[in-house]
Structure 1
């Protein structure tokens, strides 16, 4: 088969399956704005395209999100037409449609099957909106209207999707029933041959200090340090954690930008806002035990998980972070927020401990109790890894299911674009 992959940050969720499709003898081509010139990656022919146009300065704020997706969709459409002119006719298109690139691809190849990575459908009810009362929207009475328009991209894709795939039941279940019935739940997978415990792991942190399994290491990870992933809650617990754990080293991973939710006030970052809020409560000596690592190579991330004595994971009800399952695969002792979809993969007392997202005092108490209980940490860490190996292992579980989904897509009658 000829298979076209679409992802704005290729390979993204196709990191594992794309090379396997090549190995199975398929011609695999990827369109992405991430690269500047044509290249090959593990047998995948990667073709670049540029996003043309710019967002309107005075557009209604509710339409700004869709305009961005429209610009991407139109640019990808033009790149697809150029590819078609060269004679490329895909049997199927696999796309992450969250940024709009795949909006018009059925207009170029109406006979191709379209498989979409269905990450989230935006819902206007609690807890999807209003979960964190600290950050109210300016016009809460109009949230449903705004969110309805935010789903324009999802809604337009609902007319052309042939089959969808979603990593968790929580995420799949956000989609309306007519959409949901086309979606199969299969996670991206964790390579548990690589992501595993290592008693000899070493992690160099700020100041040149090297941490090992002999140190009391507390870890916390966001892609970007921000409220959606509970950064503000963890930072507010930090002064008490440091006082009660005089030997602890706190290692925090994440960038200074925003991945989800509202942006901070102009000229500021969420990271610095909450540092400023708590710094006066922490002595210089204790602050030296806090290590902000920024963004690091994957190997260093693994070392961080492998030296972790207790890992804290907090999130709004939202997309599940890959890092949670990876930390479980490393046999980390997990303390996580009692929110969906965390509870889909973590069971209280068996594979980790759960705490109310907003209760920083309970977070501190349970974290200290976990650090004082090596038997529980070891038991839950092993159970967490066993759970991931059984249910989310890349080679034995997820890739076979993903390939079954690709086969089902190949056997599906393609839907044509509609007016």
Structure 2
């Protein structure tokens, strides 16, 4: 079976399964990604390059659509090159969110197309529990809503020409139009629960040489980038109170200074600088680690006594499941994607996204009653192993790939 995996940032969501599939006898796996993608060893992949940028005079509602057309056009050229070489896929499995598969059917009309259905934007008018206008501090004006409604046109096109879709969580699947729900399968890609395990002997060395070990009062916060969509502003506003109540704790903050979702702050280069202007934290106990190599990130989770995960009603991060797999006690936001996984008092603790006082109290509680809360940590890992393991994700995806 020939499988073409497409992701503009290849391997993206396929980073765990692509190397496994590349080793399956009788499977020929090729990746396709933009020229800026990292790729991965052990998987053959090709790059596509946009031939120009979005036009400067393009209507701003349509800029993302033009960007998608440019991605689709460039990806189609890459697929045509494969076809010219005599390579024709049986299955195309793609994250189509940037427009890569808009013209895939025209190149490979007989291929079965599977789409990773990550997100579909809500109304943002208060009639649905959406990320849009969830945070009153950052309201979305009419122009923003109109732009997102236009952007949904791409997602509708993707849903229409896919043979089947897959969403990783019930919450993410539920965001898509009801007319397409029956074609979207619920399969989480899985996290590596064998690699991400509790380790009572874990150590993490700070840049100044300080060594933190499992069992120390260590607070952890992880996001791809530090920004409001992942509750960075709420966490930072809770931190001074946490540090006052617990004068010996250390806080490890992992994440970059770019913007993955939303926009940059006004008057500051990034949200880290912006929040440090607003709140006073102890610099000797607050450690911004940036983006870490995976093994260092794994050790951060293993020394954690209280892991804070906050998110708008949006896509659930791998990092929360990875933290649970590592045996962390997660203090999570009481928002739909988190509540799908965390049951308050059973496998973690839940707090209101905006209640920084309650958030601080729960974190201090986790630090001071660590032994009493150990059953929650054990249950968190057990739940992830049972429902979100890499083996389960791989099996689910393979069944979808081979379905007739």
Bin for the TM-score computed over the shorter chain: over 0.9
> After the TM superposition, which residues 268-283 of structure 1 pair with which residues of structure 2 at under 5 Å, given as runs?
268-279=269-280, 282=281
TM-score, with structure 1 as normaliser: 0.92
- Displacement of 1:49 after TM fit? 1.9
Structure showing greater relative contact order (alpha-carbon pairs closer than 8 Å, 6 or more residues apart) = 1
Q: Which residue of 2 aligns with 1:192?
A: 193
CA deviation string 1:182-233 (max 9, x = no partner): 1111111111111101111111223221111142100011110000000000
The question of whether the paired residues in 2 share the 8 Å contact of 1:124 and 1:143 is answered with no
- Displacement of 1:34 after TM fit? 4.1
- Displacement of 1:153 after TM fit? 1.3
Task: Determine the C-alpha separation between the residues in 2 that align with 1:404 and 1:14.
Answer: 15
> After the TM superposition, which residues 279-294 of structure 1 pair with which residues of structure 2 at under 5 Å, given as runs?
279=280, 282=281, 286-294=282-290
Q: Which residue of 1 aligns with 2:60?
A: 61
CA deviation string 1:95-121 (max 9, x = no partner): 000111111111111111100111001
- Equivalent residue of 2:72, what SS? helix
Rate the CA distance shift 1:266–1:67 in 2: closer, same or farther, 3 A. farther
Indicate yes or no: 2:3 matched with 1:8: no
Q: Which residue of 2 aligns with 1:175?
A: 176
The count of corresponding residues between Structure 1 and Structure 2 is 399
The question of whether the paired residues in 2 share the 8 Å contact of 1:218 and 1:250 is answered with yes
Q: Which residue of 2 aligns with 1:134?
A: 137
Indicate yes or no: 2:395 matched with 1:400: yes
CA deviation string 1:100-155 (max 9, x = no partner): 11111111111111001110011113432210000112x34x55533220112111
Q: Which residue of 2 aligns with 1:52?
A: 51
- Displacement of 1:16 after TM fit? 2.5
- Displacement of 1:20 after TM fit? 2.8
- Equivalent residue of 1:287, what SS? coil
The question of whether the paired residues in 2 share the 8 Å contact of 1:329 and 1:384 is answered with yes
Indicate yes or no: 2:89 matched with 1:90: yes
- Equivalent residue of 2:373, what SS? helix
Task: Determine the C-alpha separation between the residues in 2 that align with 1:145 and 1:287.
Answer: 42
The question of whether the paired residues in 1 share the 8 Å contact of 2:305 and 2:370 is answered with no
Indicate yes or no: 2:263 matched with 1:262: yes
Task: Determine the C-alpha separation between the residues in 1 that align with 2:51 and 2:291.
Answer: 29
The question of whether the paired residues in 2 share the 8 Å contact of 1:10 and 1:34 is answered with no
- Equivalent residue of 1:52, what SS? coil
- Displacement of 1:374 after TM fit? 2.1
- Equivalent residue of 2:46, what SS? strand
The question of whether the paired residues in 1 share the 8 Å contact of 2:9 and 2:36 is answered with no
Q: Which residue of 1 aligns with 2:218?
A: 217
- Displacement of 1:22 after TM fit? 2.6
Q: Which residue of 1 aligns with 2:152?
A: 151
Q: Which residue of 2 aligns with 1:417?
A: none
The question of whether the paired residues in 2 share the 8 Å contact of 1:21 and 1:28 is answered with yes
The question of whether the paired residues in 2 share the 8 Å contact of 1:253 and 1:295 is answered with yes
- Equivalent residue of 1:345, what SS? coil
Residue range with higher mean Cα deviation, 296-305 or 172-181: 172-181
Q: Which residue of 2 aligns with 1:30?
A: 31
- Displacement of 1:264 after TM fit? 2.1
Task: Determine the C-alpha separation between the residues in 2 that align with 1:208 and 1:374.
Answer: 25
The question of whether the paired residues in 2 share the 8 Å contact of 1:116 and 1:165 is answered with yes
- Equivalent residue of 1:114, what SS? strand
The question of whether the paired residues in 2 share the 8 Å contact of 1:336 and 1:352 is answered with yes
CA deviation string 1:49-104 (max 9, x = no partner): 21221122222221111121111111111111122111111111010001111111
The question of whether the paired residues in 1 share the 8 Å contact of 2:10 and 2:37 is answered with no
Task: Determine the C-alpha separation between the residues in 2 that align with 1:36 and 1:271.
Answer: 26
CA deviation string 1:270-289 (max 9, x = no partner): 1110011113xx4xxx3210
Task: Determine the C-alpha separation between the residues in 1 that align with 2:333 and 2:40.
Answer: 41
Task: Determine the C-alpha separation between the residues in 2 that align with 1:147 and 1:36.
Answer: 25
Task: Determine the C-alpha separation between the residues in 2 that align with 1:174 and 1:399.
Answer: 24
Task: Determine the C-alpha separation between the residues in 2 that align with 1:110 and 1:187.
Answer: 28
- Displacement of 1:344 after TM fit? 0.6
Mind listing any 5+ residue stretches in structure 2 that lack a counterpart?
none
> Over aligned residues, Cα RMSD in angstroms?
1.7
Mind listing any 5+ residue stretches in structure 1 that lack a counterpart?
412-419
Task: Determine the C-alpha separation between the residues in 2 that align with 1:12 and 1:293.
Answer: 23
Residue range with higher mean Cα deviation, 381-390 or 49-58: 49-58
Task: Determine the C-alpha separation between the residues in 2 that align with 1:161 and 1:307.
Answer: 43
